Amino acid sequence: MQTLLDKIWNVHVVDCPSARLAQLYIDRLYCHEVTTPQAFKQLNDRGISFFRPGRAVCMADHDVPTALHPAGTDEVLQRQIQLLADNAAACALTYFAPGDPHHGIIHVVGPESGLTLPGMTVVCGDSHTSTHGAMGAIAFGIGTSEVEMVMASQCLLVNKPKQMRITVSGALQHGVTAKDLALYIVAQISVSGATGYFVEYAGDTVRSMGMEGRQTLCNMSIEMGARGAMVAPDEKTFDYIRSAPFAPRGTAWEEAEAYWRTLYTDDDAVFDRELAVDATDVRPMISYGTNPAMSVPVDGCIPSVPDDAEAAAAFRRALSYMQFIEGEPMLGKPVDYVFMGSCTNGRFEDFKAFASVVAGRKKAPHVEAWLVPGSQAVRRRCQESGITRILSEAGFELRNPGCSACLAMNGDRVPAGRYVVSSSNRNFEGRQGPGARTMLGSPYMVAAAAVTGVVTDPRPLIPETFKLADYV
């Protein structure tokens, strides 16, 4: 009996140098501007050709400016973007430049465009490559030397990871999203609780989620130490891919779908670890510290200092950085900035959720808001559906796609000492700007903070029904 990972892994093994070490064939290599320049240089210095250029896709996302009217050009960032374009041209690789209809964050564009498909092996020099696992693929981040290895051989030497299944059962409550579920799980098992494992999400809760929610779950799995994560493909997966611009067509689609339908974990398959989660226990979550595991329900309080001395020291440092106090409530915490976007929550359904809360309301005057779609396709859908109009009437501006304030590499930086409620994936010290203080939450949470100016339980602000057709 085989797991989903086993089935995909086994058909991609080229050779097995040892019991767990495999030479794995890679179907798709994604290259962005931050982690690949050295790999391209090493390839060129050694006089090695790019082995299979048709298997690679290049896209600048970390450094690209997202403001509609940038105040100036950062020459270092522009050189990095241009270097990716030059390397792609020299190696005859597919390259989507900023402004291209297919441009965006690579972990948003890959799934939505059909470049990532079920049964694939997918790598990129970025840890959140795990996002693509929501398509029923083995997807994980790799280092620079490994990127070079894939460029040169289309293969990768990798140890097969241990496997964990997280089964989520029950209905999520009103106003609770995949992001809340992800923060809840990370808080339960810690930032190292899945270290060394590849996670498969299963259960009726996951099956009821749309593809956007599944991508959020897989994306956040890295925050509990997982090597990657995946969800078995089903009808929702096939419908999501069917009309994608790079999806198979005709007979090729029929053959692909027939194979995809075999990609599920057999009933008697054994995992190294099993974890069960009751979805009804999850409430809207928000982080209070400096890693995603330091999260609590928004209507809860910051916990007490742990008994363990080492954990207590880290806890106190986090609260000192955030200027929070143990035992105090999260509700009412001041908010200076909100960031809506990233490869965690930069998809159309995320912006629809945000819009449902801000519709008919106004942005709090003192709050600076960065609303950054994950791709040009998301931006177009927001414009066509009426979301852009809702945002504009509420005092928000939809920016151009890019990673933006998720990692503060591109000019979108939260100033030191300021508080931001963010839909992104990490809240480490300085992650969104030197000295910035990040509170992670769902798109609903970000929207609620944006219109009230403080940390707010979004549930009372979410309408029972929300029809975009009313705003087109």
Give residue 409's pLDDT: 83
**CB-neighbour burial class of residue 430 (10 A; exposed 0-12, middle 13-18, buried 19+):** middle
Listing DSSP states for 215-239 in one string gives HHHHHHGGGGT-SEEEE---HHHHH
Instruction: Write down the pLDDT at residue 278.
Output: 98
Distance CA 222, CA 214 (A): 14
Residue 29 parent element (H or E): strand 28-31
Output the pLDDT for position 472. Answer: 63
Q: How many CB atoms lie within 10 A of CB 313?
A: 12
**318: Cβ contacts below 8 Å, ≥ 6 apart:** 289, 290, 291, 294
Structure tokens at 196: 């060394």
Q: What is the pLDDT of residue 232?
A: 98
Q: How far apart are CA 385 and CA 348, in angstroms?
A: 10
Mean pLDDT by 10 residues, the chain (472 residues): 97 90 97 94 95 98 90 82 96 97 98 98 97 98 96 97 98 97 98 97 98 98 98 98 97 98 98 98 98 98 94 97 98 98 98 97 98 98 96 97 92 95 97 97 98 98 86 68
pLDDT given for residue 397 in this prediction: 97
DSSP state of 326: T
Q: What is the rounded distance in angstroms from the CA atom of residue 88 to the CA atom of residue 96?
A: 10
Q: Is 130 helix (H, G, I), strand (E, B) or coil?
A: helix
- Distance CA(422)–CA(442), nearest Å, equals 8
Which structural domains are found in the chain, ordered by start?
Answer: 4-275 (3.30.499.10), 298-471 (3.30.499.10)
CA dist list (Å): 438 to 25, 199, 422 = 39, 27, 7
Q: Look at residue 403 and give its three-state secondary structure.
A: coil
H or E element, residue 356: helix 348-358
| Cα–Cα distance, 450 to 457 (Å, whole number) | 12
Beta bridge partners of 231: 201
CA distances (Å), origin 27, targets 21, 50, 152, 194, 458: 18, 14, 14, 25, 41
Q: How far apart are the first and last CA of the chain?
A: 51
Which helix H or strand E contains 333, and what residues bound it?
none
Q: List the beta bridge partners of residue 297.
A: 285
Note the pLDDT of residue 18.
Answer: 83
Collapsing DSSP to helix, strand or coil, 279 comes out as helix
> Given this model, what pLDDT does residue 19 score?
78
Residue 106 contacts residue 122 (beta carbons within 8 Å): no
| Inter-residue contact 397 to 374 (CB < 8 Å) | no
d(CA 112, CA 153): 27
Instruction: Give the pLDDT score at 464.
Output: 86
